[in-house]
Amino acid sequence: MASGRWIVPLRRTPHAGVRLFCFPHAGAGASAFRGWSRTLPAGVDVLAIQAPGRESRVAEPPFQDLPPLVAEVAGALEAYDDYPMAFFGHSLGAMVAFEVTRELQRRGRNGPIRLFVCGCRAPHRAPRSSPIHGLPDADFLEELGRLGGTPHEILGQDELMALLLPGLRADFRLAESYLTSTTARVACPISALGGREDPEATAEDMAGWAAHTAAGFRFRLFPGDHFFIFDKPAGVADALAIDLRASLVGETRP
């Protein structure tokens, strides 16, 4: 099954009421959420998207354009739409999760009961930084080190980085070229989570997500920078628990 390549289970809990699908940031794979998932409340099954070009799929060519990636992920998720689900996307993952939600709506399939977007500018807001995906290798690696998210011990391993660079460049190309209008909306509520010291997704950038749903919007800021969800996950887990409970009101297990 295609879903077997795309979906990695991270945590199963007894009597789960919802499945939370996590969409990683640029260059990251499903394992980015493995430790983070342990902080989430009981009753939430956690699964993550594994795209080509990373971890178990590192030998596969990464996607260079967003629409075919979105179509593949949406197709894989159709096998899971018999149960309440929510999406959580960090940075590039938030863009992908938003577009996958829209694609499921276009197909008439069950989408998420709530979309969590984290550390990502609203879809209609242009990037704050100049594109880096086309820079020479040395300059590109320097920018990766500045942005964080890729350990310096990995950046210093030439053979490993030669393997990872195509996927990293492809992901940054997707993120840096993504822009849509305020008329692009999802049918579910959106919860936006941002880091107070995040230069890539400011409070103003994050608040703009309110334009992309008419079903309800919540916005929270947390201490930290772009990767605050991994540095101090407890507050994020509490926010997810509150908003998931709100969205599950009226839901029943199949």
- Positions annotated as catalytic residues are 91
Beta carbons within 8 Å of 37's beta carbon, 6+ residues apart: 10, 11, 22, 46
Cα 26 to Cα 90: distance, rounded to the nearest angstrom: 9
Residue 1 DSSP code: -
3-state secondary structure of 22: strand
What gap in Å lies between CA 66 and CA 52, rounded to an integer?
13
The pairing of beta strand 217-222 with beta strand 115-118 = unpaired
The dihedral sign for the CA sequence 163, 164, 167, 169: negative
